[in-house]
Chains A and B, each alone.
Chain A
Amino acid sequence: MPPKRKDNVVIKVEDVGMDVDAVIDSGSEEEARRRAKNRRVRPQRKAKRVSDDEEDEDEEDEEPRRKGRKKKAKPRDSDEEEEEDSRSVKSKSSRASRRKAAKEESEEESEDDRQKKKKRGKGVSKQEKEEQNKEKKGQVKGKEGKDKGGEKDRKKKSGKFSSSSSSDSDSDDQSLSEGEIEALKEQVEEKKKQIATLRNKPWRIKRRLVILKEAQDFVEKYEGALGKGKGKRLYAFKVMMAKKWIKFKRDFENFKTACIPWERKIKDVESHFGSSVASYFIFLRWMYGLNLVLFGFMFGLVIVPELLMGLPYGSIPRKIVPRAEQDTAMDFSVLFDFRGYCKYSFLFYGYYNSERTIGVLQFKLPLSYLLVGVGIFGYSLMVVIRTMARNSNEGGDGAEEGEFTFSWKMFTSWDYLIGNPETADNKYASITTSFKESIVDEQESQKDENIHLRRFLRVLANFLILCSLGGSGFLIYFVVKRSQEFSNMENEDLSWLEKNEVELVMSLLGLVCPPLFETIAELEDYHPRVALKWQLGRIFALFLGNLYTFLFALFDEVTAKLESEKAIKNATEWALNQYIANYSSHYNTTNVPPQNVDPADTLRGPCWETAVGIEFVKLIVSDMQVTYLSILIGDFIRAVLVRYLNYCWCWDLEAGFPSYGEFDISGNVLGLIFNQGMIWMGAFYCPGLVGLNVLRLLVSMYYQCWAVMCCNVPHERVFKASGSNNFYMGLLLLVLFLSLLPVVYTIMTLSPSFDCGPFSGQEKMYDVVMETIDKDLPSFIGNIFVYATNPGLIMPAVLLMVLAIYYLNAVSKGYQQANLDLKKKMKMARDEEKNRRNNKDSTNQVMKDLEDLLPDKSLIPPPTEEEPPPPDVVIEKGSKSPKIKPGAAGKGVKLQKDVSLAATNPRAPVNRAPGPRRAPPGNARGPQPGPGRGRGRGGPPRQ
């Protein structure tokens, strides 16, 4: 190794080196500060450095011999450079501050070590390696010179390490003693942990690679050597398996990330529109994943068994199109309305047979149907809540709003994802505005505007919005009622418009109302973020109102259908009885063969479940159509027109009135959420709905990605999607709950149709569970259920739960209170600290008052304060004066504090520390170990 070269390296590293390892270990601030200081004094210490370097060189010369192993493995100088790098940093710091103290101690220690090593005889022993590896870890461990490195020893040596080395010296060097094995094991474990956490270390990657390599080599080398005899093999096997497992896990991770679709697409969108628009697409993707799982349940447990093992199409009445409809059953218009063949297919509830078990596997389809229907809700609930919990961990620990307004704005407002000039410009503008707004807020120069007018406008806006909400609800109710009238009429008499009125009106309302609200919201003149929340809330209310109006109207329809069903049921029963009576009287036998009627000709009920399913499917489809058409017309055609008509138009279309569309995040997200709500509600009555939704989301993903990239412009005010993920999730949870209600209600109260669906013939849908418990499970489980459903048991259980909720609530309130107290305390401590350090006019009213109560001393300022020192010195001292190492001059500090507090005349702020601490400027920049070291500990307030 050429020593010259290394010299260069050292110096180079030193020149640049300070920003290496901003934080090596725990005492980060202290370390950093010390380093910074050392750098400042570097010129003075050049000479010293040279000699140090020489020493290092010697040490380096030892290196190759000591780690021949390592040298083979990797390029040499990078290794050494790293080594040098970390060491020079370390040495710089340690030399400056504790060289003297260290010297004596290390002298002793190295003496010790040398003796031990001589005893051990072999130059390169395991211990040696351990040492090397240990010191590499960046915890400041001692570096040991073997022969003459006495003065190079650093002070710090972990106690564990030295004790292990002493135990080593007792044993002979070939066989490993128990303690040694333990130590080795520990180290191997440590290394492993290091490998696992290496990526989290803020080191240069080169260094990380080197350390990784070393750690791996170490582990490889010593892992096998551990354990004896039988244990050895087992250990080796375990190690091997662990390795395989890690490899497998990594491959699996790789596979998993490779499976996440649309990374690139979303990234493109993200770079153009910032994270808020991208958050919609990420949400969409998440939704797609959720629906895929739901579809998997539905498809695998309900649809496929019925298709494979159930009776084929046309075998029973519920599985065939009635004779009257057969002529038109294949027409496109009929199919498009989900009637005809669609209605009598596996897509809908009515198709499924009520046989208890089907096929050779004795698959219990009705039970499976019910469980999947409920399980979809259970699974969604679980996933949503888990995602929410995970998201909530991500956001910061929520300091109070306003504590860090400016610094947050400064350091976190730029969205690093932005990669599009236009978006960047918008972002710049919005950041500037937000800064200006904050400045205005800060100065609290509330413009003298007409507060009454604004209040009036806000009330007016809310009134208008309430009106339109009510209006839309009424409209839907009216339309649904009308559609019920239509449904009683003949199909042929109705136009397409009349048949699809409900869906159309709902979709149009969803299309028209949000922009209307936005326009009305202009009146209110809220801050955009507040406005967005309002907007979201209003659209949510609109959708919810519409959905529930729709549901109530649907319930009316269902009850009507139930009535007519009863009549039909009676009629069929009557006909059957008639037939049996006729048959038996005619042939004089009780052995009546089943009625020989073609399944298509049988009289059948309206099957309200299928009707509900069809309503939902139609709703989804029309929603889809409206959404896609509005994108096509509202965004694409508009963009084309604006783009190309601009050449021959009288005003600037691009900048002026029509302009390009913006991506409406709130509307899209809410649309997605409500769509999902309808899926949840409809899935029970229409198992095919989930599959349809998967398709829809897939198409949406591509279509909207394309649309947003090709015809939208970024928002003028690019806002961040911060925390909005959980906001979306919260809405989703609410919608999930709201859609759970009607489904559970129908399952629990309404009786299923008598001639269609998996529950036909039962009084209630959940009877299928009872039946299974009775017939298929051992009787004691049935008994357990009987006991468990006993009111005597349920009541205490409910009570217990209420108590638990109460208790948890109380506990969380207590925690909140404690949190608040702590925050308050921290704030107080901070204020106090600030006041003390800054020596400025107190911002804290209480402190101010207290200071006012300190009368006499403040009138006599220390004489040194008369002359104004240069400003940089002021800063120097302001930072340093009170921060003396507590151990060294604890008393002094207290005294100092008192003096500075007392010396402050609160009405006349003093910008610097009082006299006694003042040192000449040159001196202030010199290496002063005291303040420098005490600095880091100066963080928390000293009481």
Chain B
Amino acid sequence: MSISIAEHDYIRLSEANMEKNKIDDKDLNFKATELRLGLPGSESPERESVTVKKRGFADTINGGSGKWVFAGNGGLEVDLVQNGGNKNLGCVKAESDVLVLPKGGLLEKKGLVSVKSDGQTSVPATKQQVVGWPPIRSFRKNTMAVSQTKNEENNDPKMGSGCLYVKVSMDGAPYLRKVDLKIYSCYLDLSSALEKMFSCFTIGQYGSHGAPTREGLSESRLMDLLHGSEYVLTYEDKDGDWMLVGDVPWDMFIGSCKRMRIMKSSDAIGLGKILNTPQNLDFSTTNQEVKSPLNLAPRAMEKCRNRN
């Protein structure tokens, strides 16, 4: 090659560093370089000072679960240099997914299968997830997640969290988001995350196109909107019925939720139960918006129609 391009020794490995890292890692001192889930606390205060805001994804610590969302690549490089050359850059693009960096403990996992002599697998730690890694299509991921749920129900001793992407739409928003339900542990986490994600759309109605103003507005405005009367969070379950989020225990919810919709409250009257009264059925309605006063879920209406 005649073109000279200065070889930048980026954060990770040049030839020289590799040898050094190899030896270090063999000493298996992972704690120092390990990036863990959790509040940044005193360990890396720099993380909190990222200034570039993501549209709709505020730098935040999510509810009480201790998961957090990075904003932007710029802040990331700074952090890693300060962490003394940790190898794991992992993708931290939080779109609709909460991302964390993968653990530093690569070499610990070398070639080992943790199957004990009695054939039982030890309870494995769940890997922190990087968006889009490993490269498996959502269709497959969701299918396998459903299979695993079924296996767990059948007392099959297979562990594993998989992930479960569902689409979330909001009335009036130009496009929807996908979230992985498996990363949340309770309704509070989920609703906080969604509030962050969709705050831009609501606030944007009051600002100019593409550049929502932020003075005087905060996430609490959206929380007021959500908790107040304007919007409710609903989901479509396996049977095709639209339900209010929060009606069933969390585990049952993630096992049956196919997608979610942030609906205007005025459209959501009567959700939460499927009403099966036969009179006054409006057969002309085929879309999801529940219009008839008796608010039958679409699937139930379909069943009625089939019967005729």
A-B complex is real = no
B residues apposed to A, CB below 8 Å: none
Binding site for B on A (CB under 8 A): none
